[in-house]
Chains A and B, each alone.
Chain A
Amino acid sequence: MIGLSAVYVFAGIVFVVITIFSALDRANPKRAVNALFWGLLAASFLFGDLLGDFGNGLLVLALAALAGFAGLGLGQPKTTDADERKRLAREFKNRLFVPALAIPAVTLIGSLTLKYASFSGRPLFDPAQVTLIALVLAVVASVALSRFMLRQPVIAALEEGRRLLDLVSWTALLPQMLASLGAVFALAGLGTAVGNLFTGLIPADSRFAAVAAYTIGMAVFTVIMGNGYAAFPVMTAAIGLPLIVTKFGGNPAIMSAIGMVSGFCGTLATPMAANFNLVPVALLGISDPYAVIKAQLPTAFLLLAFNTVLMDVLVFR
């Protein structure tokens, strides 16, 4: 059965190629650091399960040390210049959109249909991982379409991948690191500690205070963890169920639905949600690392206020 390990091998191979290109790039004065950094990531994808927990721990610390103390440089792969791109855009016209839209289209179709594919009665793909497998297939399809419709060699695609990856630089690894930090937080019992902190703050007899503590608590805890899914079980056990549902007789479905989206207001406001808020900054070449968060912050505050009032109005009907 094709599952996550096959996806990791594919990713590992892509990163091995990027490592080699990085090592050979004489235009980048820090090419050794870049090659080591992407090389360690390739090793993680290819051999992560063989390294053991302590080995993986040292690998992460080495990645952090490389990024923090040595600093990554910017690779300079050969690419087309602005004039050439304008000319190509006029030549290819809307054909350019076909490989671009193939990415979401194939991902979508794959994630809906791959689970039904079977080979001699057994499922061909791990049903739990179809979205990631579909994404990889979509990338392969798009690169193939670019090869045949737009004359872009596969090697050029990998070099371009390196150009964009160097642009995102170490930020690319931040989402995975933060997800790991979340796991360590959970291990150390951080959830209960924060939950207790909030329960201590609420006046015992106010319905509105309980609602506000729940919605704001969801948002604040999400800011800390970078993920509303991590906040939901903690705040629901600490405030939602004992106070809003049991004590004041609120509706658990309404409470949970609005509570979850209150958590997402926190996601809009935190650098801990790096894949949403920090990676795009790097990807779009914006100089202020918090520019996307700043663009979202007023929406987050207004929507959190709306959610708090909405829950107070609906949940006790």
Chain B
Amino acid sequence: MLPLIGIGVVVLGFALRLNGLLVVAAAAIATALAGGLDLVTAISAFGHAFNENRYVSITFLVLPAIGALERAGLQERARDMIEAMRAMTVSRIIVLYLLMRETAAAIGLTSLGGQAQMVRPLIAPMAEAAAEARLGTLSDETRQAVRAQAAAAENVGWFFGEDIFVALGSVLLIRGILEQNGILVQPLQLSLWSIPTAIAAFAIHATRIYVFEQRLKRETKLPEAETARS
């Protein structure tokens, strides 16, 4: 049970909103020490894992490319485009992106998206512009809520679309683990049985985006109606 101490450190650290890097480093050292390693070996184990996982941070190399485009007015162009399209609403933009992201991932095109590549430069400003076109100037709080919805759609679409494609990580992992236990499954079977959840994920999340938009409309119209009455 002793290794569970690491989980305790993480939960407590995140709950107290301490610096995430400190929390994770403390959890790693505590777990290794509880597992019977001495301090030098514990630090080495964490250092080894850190070095092996450098590829995780490679995605941040897109930031210079995105930044250069922002400098040239990409976000403003995305907004202008949406303002010209009267039919575009917050829910239509985010649901459309959810659908596009999920379908693309389902056919193996997982790189068509990303928080840094698509959401920050394009989807979030488009959704904000659509909200502004309908509801007038947005409060900072509303603006942030719209952005959070754009980020959430990216995650939901990717996670539940990805499992449908036969040649991707999760399908191959499942197949490998089952094979180690003497069970052979066809990747196509695994893809097939991921489809109901993918459809449910789209239906549930799209409905929630629509509900979010209704709430936005109510909240922004309420103060106006009250001032009109008085």
Q: Residues on A close to B: CB < 8 A?
A: 4, 7-8, 10-11, 14, 41, 44-45, 48-49, 51-61, 63-65, 67-69, 79-80, 84-94, 96-97, 99-100, 103-104, 107-108, 111, 129, 131-132, 134-136, 138-139, 142-143, 146, 150-152, 156-161, 163-165, 168, 170-185, 187-190, 193-194, 224, 228-229, 232-233, 236-237, 241, 245, 252-254, 256-258, 260-261, 264, 267-268, 271-272, 274-281, 283-289, 291-292, 294-296, 298-299, 302-303, 306-307, 310, 314
Contacts and interface: CB of A to CB of B under 8 A. Distances in A.
A11 B24 CA distance: 24
A63 B144 contact: no
A52 B44 CA distance: 8
Given A80-B72, A99-B69, A174-B20, 17 more contacts: A53-B44, A60-B50, A67-B22, A85-B70, A138-B65, A150-B68, A152-B72, A156-B68, A168-B63, A181-B24, A241-B183, A260-B170, A278-B20, A284-B124, A291-B144, A296-B152, A310-B197
Nearest to A151: B72
Contacts of A100: 66, 69, 74, 121-122
A52 B50 CA distance: 11
A167 to B, nearest CB: 9
Given A100-B74, A258-B197, A54 B47 contact: yes
B169 A184 contact: no
Closest 9 pairs (CB-CB, A-B): A160-B67, A57-B47, A161-B64, A56-B47, A188-B35, A89-B73, A68-B22, A57-B43, A89-B76
Interface string B167-192: 00110011001100101011001111
Interface string B152-164: 1011100110010
Interface residues of B, number: 111
B148 A284 contact: yes
B93 interface: no
Contacts of A256: 174, 177-178, 185, 190
B218 to A, nearest CB: 18
Contacts of A103: 62, 65-66, 117
B131 interface: no
28 contacts: A8-B54, A11-B57, A11-B58, A55-B47, A63-B21, A80-B73, A93-B77, A96-B77, A97-B77, A99-B68, A104-B111, A142-B69, A165-B60, A170-B20, A180-B46, A180-B52, A183-B45, A185-B3, A188-B3, A189-B3, A190-B3, A229-B169, A256-B178, A257-B190, A261-B201, A285-B144, A291-B144, A298-B208
Nearest to B170: A260
A253 B46 contact: no
Contacts of B3: 185, 188-190, 193
Contacts of A183: 45, 48-49, 52-53
Contacts, number: 412
Given A45-B54, A89-B80, A161 B63 contact: yes
Nearest to A160: B67
Given A96-B69, A165-B63, A179-B56, A261 B163 contact: yes
Given A256-B178, A264-B160, A306-B197, A177 B48 contact: no
Question: Dominant SS at the B interface?
Answer: helix
Contacts of A271: 14, 20
Question: Dominant SS at the A interface?
Answer: helix
A255 B200 CA distance: 17
A41 B57 contact: yes
A94 B73 CA distance: 11
Interface in B72-120: 72-77, 79-80, 109, 111-120
A54 B65 contact: no
B44 A94 contact: no
B71 to A, nearest CB: 5
A173 B73 contact: no
Contacts of A134: 111
A41 B53 CA distance: 13
A129 B4 CA distance: 34
A67 B57 CA distance: 17
B151 A292 contact: yes
A260 B163 contact: yes
Contacts of B145: 291, 295
A11 B55 CA distance: 10
A56 B196 CA distance: 45
Contacts of A190: 3-4, 6-7, 31
Given A85-B76, A88-B76, A295 B151 contact: yes
Nearest to B194: A257
Contacts of A90: 73, 80
